[in-house]
Amino acid sequence: MKKNVIWNTAGSVFYSFCQWLITILVVHLGSYEYAGYLSLAMTTSSSFAAISLFSMRNFQVSDVKGEYSSDIYVGSRILTCVIAFICCTVSAFVGNSLYQVVCIDAFMLIRVAESLVDVLHGVNQKYNHYDYIGKSYILRALLTVVIFCIGLLIWNNLPLALFVIAMVNLMVAFLFDWRLTWNLEHFTPRIWNSKVWNLLKVCFPIVIFSFLLSLENLIPKTFLQQQFGTEELGIYSSIASPTLVVQVFASVAFNPFLPYFSELYVNKKTDQLKKVLHKTYMLLIAMCICVTIGAVLLGKIGLTILFGRQILEYYNLFMPIVWCTILTAIVWIFSAILIAFRQIKWLVVGMIVDFLGCICIVRPVVLQYEKNGVSIVQLMVLAVYIMFMVGVCEITLYKQKRCNEI
């Protein structure tokens, strides 16, 4: 387990670090305007990545009973990737310039590569080949940074750089990940199959959850851009970029433990599961404290190194962004637990109500607090949703314990 956690975490964090690094490099090699375009492309494509991923990974790795084969999981992912790219392309033309559309579509192709690799990593995880997962992340990360630097230094063309990165990521997905995974299990993707549609039907509520959660991040940023300009969004996104590693680290470090939660729940080992869940609560609280202390001590130093002393003019944005990142990581962890418990209905119901709350408060909060308003909106809605998810977890275990006693 330790080896698995190290490979999974190291690879994922390095990949996310390199994605964050390009948000830093775009400021130094380009401009804050470029940073705004990149942020828009990354955030918009992230929303539609919820469709391509179909939030299936947690369901896939917690499928300890083998309800669906790898043929079905891989085939369904190909189908959802095609649908997501089409939807993203159509949506990008609404309210965006042609330049923005090209950037969004290019980054969406990168998301498609990530989604294809994700389902293959689910198969790798089934066979405990986390080394394949780690190596894939590292290879794609290095290529992404190198090509991005070339794109801005030599070509001075952001859309072209993003498009070449997308093509290279797709090549790695098929030549590296697909080949290695197929050697583990000779799967044959089933794209148009009754079981594929049944799997999509089961996972569709999780997609709604993921899509609305990503929109809770996108809508305040989009409103900020519309009201105060792309450069303001670029400043906010630049300060936010170093904090994303916390979210990624927390999520990927937890992922190898998810099958264990599922096995305890399926086998009705309620007392043991309750102890593990409560330990998880304590670890998350400890993470919040440690990250907050680290951000207070190192925040100004880190931002100065990355962007220069002029960025400290906007330091008041930093801590609220850190707390947003922490709460987002906690939401993703609890969502994985609820999926393992197969409490998907409550996961979605809670998110719909939470999203409606976000819609109601985004305009007055962002207009009053401007860039900080983006963080305040997310802090409010995420905190409420986390309390709801903890309640669902506790009620689920209570009901299972009562059933066991009967």
Q: Where are the beta strands (DSSP E) in 99-214?
A: none
pLDDT score of 402 more than 90: no
Q: For 255-261, what is the mean pLDDT?
A: 78
Q: Select the more confidently predicted residue: 315 or 165.
A: 165
Residue 255, pLDDT > 80, answer no
pLDDT at 40: 84
Q: State yes or no: pLDDT of 222 exceeds 80.
A: yes
Residue 215 CA to residue 328 CA, distance in Å, equals 13
The yes-or-no verdict on residue 127 having pLDDT over 90 is no
Q: Is the pLDDT of residue 247 over 70?
A: no
Over residues 4-12, the mean pLDDT reads 79
Binning pLDDT at 50, 70 and 90, where does residue 115 land? very high
Average pLDDT over residues 271-278: 91
Task: Provide the pLDDT for residue 243.
Answer: 72
Most confident of 232-236, 257-261, 290-294, 380-384: 380-384
- In this predicted structure, what is the pLDDT of residue 120? 95
The pLDDT of 99-105, averaged and rounded, is 90
As a whole number, mean pLDDT of residues 321-331 equals 89
Average pLDDT over residues 218-227: 84
Of residues 332 and 31, more confidently modeled: 332
Higher pLDDT, 84 or 313: 84
The tens digit of pLDDT for each residue in 32-64 reads 778 888 888 888 888 788 789 887 888 888 887
> How close are the terminal C-alpha atoms of the chain, in Å?
35
The three-state DSSP-derived secondary structure of the chain is CHHHHHHHHHHHHHHHHHHHHHHHHHHHHCCHHHHHHHHHHHHHHHHHHHHHHCCCHHHHHCCCCCCCCHHHHHHHHHHHHHHHHHHHHHHHCCCCCHHHHHHHHHHHHHHHHHHHHHHHHHHHHHCCCHHHHHHHHHHHHHHHHHHHHHHHHHHCCHHHHHHHHHHHHHHHHHHHHHHHHHHHCCCCCCCCCHHHHHHHHHHHHHHHHHHHHHHHHHHHHHHHHHHHCHHHHHHHHHHHHHHHHHHHHHHHHHHHHHHHHHHHHHCCCHHHHHHHHHHHHHHHHHHHHHHHHHHHHHHHHHHHHHHCHHHHHHHHHHHHHHHHHHHHHHHHHHHHHHHHCCCHHHHHHHHHHHHHHHHHHHHHHHHHHCHHHHHHHHHHHHHHHHHHHHHHHHHHHHHHHHHHHC
Residue 128 pLDDT: 82
pLDDT at 248: 67
Residue 1 is predicted with a pLDDT of 62
For the chain, the average pLDDT equals: 87
In this prediction, residue 77 carries a pLDDT of 95
Tokens 């599961």 locate to 273
Model confidence at 298, pLDDT cuts 50, 70, 90, reads confident
pLDDT at residue 245, as a whole number: 67
* Percentage of residues in the chain having pLDDT higher than 90: 34
Residue 251 — very low, low, confident or very high, per pLDDT cuts 50/70/90?
A: low
pLDDT computed for residue 348 by the predictor: 92
Is it the case that residue 142 has pLDDT exceeding 90?
A: yes
The predicted model gives 247-251 an average pLDDT of: 67
